[in-house]
Amino acid sequence: MKKGLIAANDFCTYHHVEYTFVRSLNEAGLVELTVIDQADYIPETQLQQLERMVRLHNELEINLAGIEAISHLLQRLENIQEEKRQLRNRLNRYEGGNG
């Protein structure tokens, strides 16, 4: 095993998912794959996100287009939450300076 990488075939075997599904996620820009010696590897940093997509596909029978939409919405939600956190920090600094 390469450091920080999981073989895509091992991931697929463990999660009972077709390799073509992971490849489709990669082609849609939803998951990163690293190619080493003609074999695909998944960065460990992508595992949680990829496992979430596999659950959406397998347990809820959501197709690739649906997963793309859900992923886009989740990313937007994370961005909004980060913006809210930053605004709250700025407000706290402002209130602290005038208190």
Residues of 66-81 as b/e, b for ≥16 C-beta within 10 angstroms?
ebbebbeeeeeeeeee
Contact 69, 30 (CB under 8 A): no
What are the pLDDT digits (tens) for 30-86? 999 999 999 999 999 999 999 999 999 999 999 999 999 999 999 999 999 999 999
> CATH code at 42?
1.10.1660.10
- Structural domain count, the chain: 1
pLDDT category at 15 given cuts 50, 70, 90 is very high
| pTM beyond 0.85 | no
